[in-house]
Amino acid sequence: MLIAPLRGVAAAAFVLALLGALAPREAAERAAGVLLAVLIGVPLLRVAFFGGRWWQLGDRKYALIAALLMLEIGVSAVLNAL
């Protein structure tokens, strides 16, 4: 279920890394920014996906752990922004 989208994301990350290394400065900076967003966002989306899936399957313990992990990451991001 997640294999095909993750392969696409891996390919996109590879292309963005190449652009970041080989493109002119302005395009390289944009590619690097998007790559950073992908590398941070995809694992968070996976945790959210699995948390929702575990909730639907009735595995509340793992769903709660996923929710607490997302909460901790959100609080850390807010505190880091201050």
Q: How far is CA 6 from CA 1, 9, 18, 63, 75, in A?
A: 10, 5, 18, 21, 26
- pTM comes to 0.77
- Tens digits of per-residue pLDDT, 24-54? 999 999 999 999 999 999 999 999 999 999 9
Determine the residue type at 62. Y
- Tens digits of per-residue pLDDT, 3-13? 888 899 999 99
